[in-house]
Amino acid sequence: MKTWNSFGVAILLVGLCILSAQVAVAQTTQQIAAAKDILARVPASDLSAKAAQLVADAPAKGKAAVAAAVAQAVVSINSDVTSAAVAAIALKAPAVAPAAAAAAASKQPNSAGAIAVAAARVPGVKAEDVCSAVIAAVPLQAEQIVSALSRAKLISWLGITPAALSMARSDAPISPENTEVL
């Protein structure tokens, strides 16, 4: 019974994180195209700084949507600087770091953990918000994201392991072979 209760707590926490994620989904194809047009002319060495400046210059009301659009544009222009651009955006506008990280991770799901860590390491950014937003954007990478943030000592899930997240996502029946005590 104790194993089931721990499993239930893990599912509940993952669900709450996903529900509480404040991911900016308001970016339009026009916003992404505009960001691409501006950033395409920027040398790779300046791409992160220019991306951050675009977000910093955006009006407060639309800053999260601009951050998401800019992050997606950076991924499509030069995916090698994605994590650096997300970190630069987080430095200029910590409140929109979750939106930028989630948008970038949605375009590069295999790098979701690294992107989340890059955003969460910035002072003033809430790692839990970044974690929730990135998991909401790429739920199949939840284990990778939590593991990366845990290894970087940016979050603590009070005993909830990446394996528990994996089980929470799976359709496997609960049995002694596939449960663990948390």
> How confident is the model over 105-118, as a mean pLDDT?
97
> How confident is the model over 90-105, as a mean pLDDT?
97
Tell me what pLDDT residue 163 has.
52
Tell me what pLDDT residue 34 has.
87
pLDDT single digits (tens) 125-164: 999 999 999 999 999 999 999 999 999 998 876 545 555 5
Tell me what pLDDT residue 87 has.
98
Tell me what pLDDT residue 31 has.
81
Per-domain residue ranges for the chain? 19-138
Which of 109, 154, 104, 102 shows the shortest CA–CA distance to 128? Answer: 154
Tell me what pLDDT residue 119 has.
97
- Structure tokens that stand for 169 in this block: 């996502």
Contact 86, 104 (CB under 8 A): yes
Tell me what pLDDT residue 131 has.
95
> How confident is the model over 153-179, as a mean pLDDT?
54
pLDDT single digits (tens) 41-92: 999 999 999 999 999 999 999 999 999 999 999 999 999 999 999 999 999 9
Higher pLDDT pick, 95 / 172: 95
pLDDT single digits (tens) 12-32: 344 434 433 333 344 578 888
Residue 46 three-state SS:
helix
Which residue type occupies 120? A
Residue 28: which region, alpha, beta or left (left: phi > 0; alpha: psi -120 to 50)? beta
